[in-house]
Amino acid sequence: MSHHPDPYYLFVFGTSIILFISSLLYLLAKKIRVIPFPVFLLIAGFGLRFIHIPALEAVRLTPGMVMFAFLPILLFESAYHFELRDFRRILTPAFLLATLGLLISSIIVALPLVWFLDVPWTAAWLYGCVISSTDPIAVLSIFKQLGVPKKLQLFVDAESFLNDGTSVIMFRILVSVQAGIGLVDADFSPELVFNGLGNFIYVIFGGIIVGAMLAWMFAQILSPIHNNKIVETVLTIVLAPFVFILSDHFLGVSGIIAVLAAGIIIGNYGKVKISPKVVDTMTDTWELLAFISVAMVFLLIGYEVDLQQLLTHMREILIALAALLVGRSVSVYGIVGLYNKLRTNGNRFPLSWLHITNIGGLRGALPLVMILTLPESFTYRELFIDMTLGAVLFTLLINALLTAPLIRRLGIDSITHANRIETKIMEVIILEKVLRLFERMKQQGKLHDDVYNKRTTNVLQTLDAAKAQIEEWSSGRSSDAFSQETERILKRFALQSEKNFYRDLHDHEIIHEGIYVPLKHSLDFQLDRIDQGIPERIMPDHTVSLAEELDRVLHDRLSFSAWLQALFGHNFSRQVRDTYLYHLARILGDKHVIEELKLFSKLALPSFSNRIVDTLISEYENLASYNQHTLTELASKFPDAAYQVEQELGECESDSLIVDLVEKFGEEERISPKALQALDLKI
């Protein structure tokens, strides 16, 4: 019998050790928030190097593992959470910083390597492209803790997302160039060796087209699958490496760009194709995969790096680090400063935001992953790994630790007067609901009189203090200023309530994506205008009459798109039913918001009950009346369509309730497994 352990056993055991340690370190990082999670992983890797664990020796970061396993996961997960709607206002400066800014930074980083370290220009520029890619994860967590403006959070996140693609593409092209001039072993040369602008464009746009098309195809496959968490989630997991390998290995276009494009399509367009009950599961699964990838990469890098060798390269690390800091500053202040100069509509970035963007340019997993894909034969591989590791450690430790104090010093986390008003309004709403909860608990016998009286007294004291504060602010400021602030707060509250209500209708499959998406986009547009300080009416100035609605439907019936839809079973009757269902959903949404707004009328706050709330309720009542009138006319002209829609609505509501109750009874074991399996209730 052989005493040599099976290599697969060692690999599995070593991976288990890494993930166990990483899980404990993740909990520690949550408690000690000033030190990012990747830093704990690197330190743990350094420490494990002094302990001889055979299982860890079997788990090695090879270029193939990094390129085909970890890189697609990290890129897809980042793109999956990239919501295009949120990034429209900051897309231009983020794109400039992620492209032109990264190019400037990479050149500035490369120059000292050429001048002082005698690194050839192409290799030095390769390193500059790699290390200029930023990672926002640690700094964004700090932003959220301190309440940094959402626009600044989006800008930092968008820049990082976009420069991932730029950095990786430039890296791959420079690797190919080096392969041609003998700096890299020709055996490692990627199959994609492009020279000239034409090939570069082919790589980029080919990757976008391939990734988008494959993601669209997968979205169509996902659409008919109904509430199957395993299949729907696995299909997206399959998509990332499939897109990468097909694009990079077979089609000769950029696999990185293809994965990013696929992630954006699935995260924005594909989410409405995924069963609503599966979306949260899918999001959690991708966060788990990203956690595993980051844990494996950082801990294994720490384990494999020779600290003594790292210290011998301290001079090179300091030179590269100094160049990196200079390059980052020049690109941020230069590119965004120029953008501010060219803006004429006032949508500029304050200087304080540029300071935070500069110091918030942390380095994370992607630079390390890219450097590790270099072959063993590459002359500067070990040097570049050490310099990258030094930059990652410095930015994750020093920059991350300085970010929060700088935010406070610059006053970026300061609470505005409107924020204070909104906070107190929400306090009043929440406390009123708590009082109702205590009342129900008392009636149900869950609270004795003494406990009820004590808890209620405490809540009432807090509630009275919040109301008094609101009234003090309303009398202490000009009536117009206070009215504008509260009106904006209440409109945002109403629109978000309406948006969440439609999402619930979609989640319960009462409305399909063809109705939900236009409703969501309409409300998103209104919310964007309110966030920008643009006055926005809830009730549109011009409402479409039934005649106009039918004219549109009839016109669409004769259009080319209608002929295409007819191939998939869409017809005039279906369009009428959808029009009826759309207005029915709007009525339900309007009534829901009216009930929510009536809470404010019951708060005994003169500053709210007199004009602002009443005006807003009136707008929603007018909107509900318009939708009700349209429904009545539709029902009179198309009674069969109206009857069918309402019949389907009743079926959806009852089916959804049955499914929820069956799942609940099964999970709580109120029914035996055999009975549950035999249960087939239809109404």
pLDDT on residue 238:
92
Kindly state whether residue 650 falls inside one of the protein's structural domains. Answer: no
Of the residues 603, 620, 638, the one at which a domain ends:
638
Mean pLDDT lowest for which of 510-514, 569-573, 674-678?
569-573
pLDDT band, residue 346 (cuts 50/70/90): low
Same domain assignment for residues 367 and 465: no
Q: In this model, does residue 546 exceed pLDDT 60?
A: no
Question: Most confidently modeled of 34-38, 177-181, 224-228, 673-677?
Answer: 224-228
| Closest-CA residue to 612 (of 491, 530, 498) | 491
| Boundaries of domain holding 492 | 485-638
Kindly state whether residue 132 falls inside one of the protein's structural domains. Answer: yes
Residues in the chain: 683
Same domain assignment for residues 103 and 202: yes
Same domain assignment for residues 437 and 562: no
9 vs 354: CA distance, rounded Å: 50
Of the residues 410, 442, 458, the one at which a domain ends:
410
**What's the mean pLDDT when you consider all of the chain?**
79
Mean pLDDT calculated for residue range 248-261: 82
Same domain assignment for residues 313 and 263: yes
Same domain assignment for residues 140 and 213: yes
Same domain assignment for residues 406 and 421: no
pLDDT on residue 50:
82
Mean pLDDT calculated for residue range 499-517: 83
Mean pLDDT lowest for which of 32-36, 165-169, 390-394, 679-683?
679-683
Kindly state whether residue 651 falls inside one of the protein's structural domains. Answer: no
426-431, long-range: CB < 8 A, 24+ apart: 427/462, 427/463, 427/466, 428/463, 428/466, 428/467, 428/470, 428/603, 428/605, 429/599, 429/600, 429/603, 431/459, 431/462, 431/463, 431/466
pLDDT on residue 189:
41
Contact assessment for residue 273 and residue 235, using Cβ atoms and an 8 Å cutoff = no
- 127-151: per-residue pLDDT in tens? 999 898 887 766 766 776 677 787 8
- CA 416, 417, 422: angle at the middle one, nearest 5? 95
pLDDT band, residue 405 (cuts 50/70/90): confident
pLDDT on residue 1:
47
Residue of higher predicted confidence among 568 and 463: 463
Same domain assignment for residues 472 and 387: no
Mean pLDDT lowest for which of 180-184, 398-402, 425-429, 606-610?
180-184
From first CA to last CA, the distance across the chain in angstroms is 64
Mean pLDDT lowest for which of 202-216, 359-373, 537-551?
537-551
Residue 295 buriedness (CB in 10 A; 0-12 / 13-18 / 19+): buried
pLDDT on residue 313:
84
| Closest-CA residue to 170 (of 110, 247, 240) | 110
Give how far Cα 290 sits from Cα of 82, 243, 257, Å: 15, 17, 18
pLDDT on residue 345:
66
Kindly state whether residue 660 falls inside one of the protein's structural domains. Answer: no
Same domain assignment for residues 231 and 84: yes
Kindly state whether residue 108 falls inside one of the protein's structural domains. Answer: yes
pLDDT on residue 565:
47
pLDDT on residue 114:
92
| Closest-CA residue to 349 (of 83, 82, 90, 87) | 90
pLDDT band, residue 362 (cuts 50/70/90): confident
Kindly state whether residue 668 falls inside one of the protein's structural domains. Answer: no
Same domain assignment for residues 376 and 401: yes
pLDDT band, residue 536 (cuts 50/70/90): low
Mean pLDDT calculated for residue range 12-33: 88
pLDDT band, residue 642 (cuts 50/70/90): confident
Same domain assignment for residues 220 and 347: yes
**Half-sphere exposure for 271 (CA within 13 Å, toward CB):** 20
* pLDDT above 90: percentage of residues in the chain: 11
- 216-242: per-residue pLDDT in tens? 999 888 888 877 888 888 999 999 999
pTM of the complete model = 0.74
Q: In this model, does residue 417 exceed pLDDT 80?
A: no
Kindly state whether residue 527 falls inside one of the protein's structural domains. Answer: yes
pLDDT on residue 108:
94
Mean pLDDT lowest for which of 69-78, 207-216, 232-241, 280-289?
69-78
Q: In this model, does residue 501 exceed pLDDT 60?
A: yes
Kindly state whether residue 216 falls inside one of the protein's structural domains. Answer: yes
Mean pLDDT lowest for which of 102-106, 266-270, 376-380, 544-548?
544-548
pLDDT on residue 112:
94
**CATH number for the domain harbouring residue 96:** 1.20.1530.20
If one counts the domains in the chain, the total is 3
pLDDT on residue 150:
78
Contact assessment for residue 368 and residue 389, using Cβ atoms and an 8 Å cutoff = yes
pLDDT on residue 264:
87
* pLDDT above 70: percentage of residues in the chain: 83
pLDDT on residue 104:
93
Mean pLDDT lowest for which of 89-98, 254-263, 290-299, 471-480?
471-480
pLDDT band, residue 567 (cuts 50/70/90): very low
Question: Most confidently modeled of 189-203, 428-442, 664-678?
Answer: 428-442
pLDDT on residue 38:
80
Same domain assignment for residues 366 and 434: no
Q: In this model, does residue 96 exceed pLDDT 80?
A: yes
pLDDT band, residue 568 (cuts 50/70/90): very low
Residues 6+ apart with CB under 8 A from 24: none
147 vs 416: CA distance, rounded Å: 11
Of the residues 394, 410, 426, the one at which a domain ends:
410
Same domain assignment for residues 160 and 196: yes
Q: In this model, does residue 93 exceed pLDDT 80?
A: yes
Residue of higher predicted confidence among 164 and 48: 48
Q: In this model, does residue 33 exceed pLDDT 60?
A: yes
pLDDT on residue 639:
84
